[in-house]
A = this chain, B = another copy of it.
């Protein structure tokens, strides 16, 4: 079944499958939401969703809260561009990073956030962020309330694409983690589908914030 993808002014732009339209609209809606949370200000951050063997990705360097369904790139599982939005829009530099999570972890969605809570976590911890004994950990698949949650921190690079190798290595070395922090930059978070990626991202951000608040109030975090 073919459905119309509309741009943000209601004009018809292209034919597409109904599920494609829904995924494109969902990315726009989630990006607006992440912008409101402070995760995607200044054109930073975003989310990519995999539907079947097709990966949807927002373009680079555009205000994420103002995306339209037609603005998406689609890629295959090896990162080859299947369709482009045109209009001078460029593929996100995050693409190779997102692909790592899709391939190594069989993720269904990958989220990138510039949240100040995430950046603060990379300033308060060295090789990895750690927290323990928080109920909110149960929102992270595989963790209980009395476990220790660990998120590896990798060093930032001048070009986002140069992060790919160390991100891949961090993913492989921390098989329990659903996220990798990047120093003074932000965090990559994934899940088996967009709901789980979003839940993971909210739980991690909450844990980053609690940890910083504990440090500010002089409460021992145990790390």
Contact = CB atoms under 8 A, between A and B. Distances in A.
Interface of A: 41-44, 63, 114, 116, 119-120, 123-124, 133-136, 139, 144-146, 156-158, 182, 184-186, 195, 198-200, 202-203, 205-206, 209-210, 212-217, 219
A44 B124 contact: no
B206 A114 contact: yes
B213 A134 contact: no
Copies in the complex: 4
Contacts of A186: 135
A206 B186 CA distance: 12
A209 B134 contact: no
Given A123-B217, A199-B63, A212-B217, A206 B135 contact: no
Majority secondary structure of chain A interface residues (helix, strand, loop or mixed): helix
B43 A199 contact: yes
16 contacts: A42-B136, A42-B206, A63-B199, A116-B210, A119-B134, A119-B210, A120-B210, A120-B213, A123-B214, A124-B219, A134-B185, A135-B186, A144-B158, A145-B158, A212-B213, A216-B217
A203 B195 CA distance: 28
Given A41-B205, A146-B158, A215-B217, 15 more contacts: A42-B200, A43-B199, A44-B135, A44-B136, A44-B139, A63-B195, A63-B198, A114-B135, A123-B214, A123-B217, A133-B184, A135-B182, A145-B156, A145-B185, A212-B217
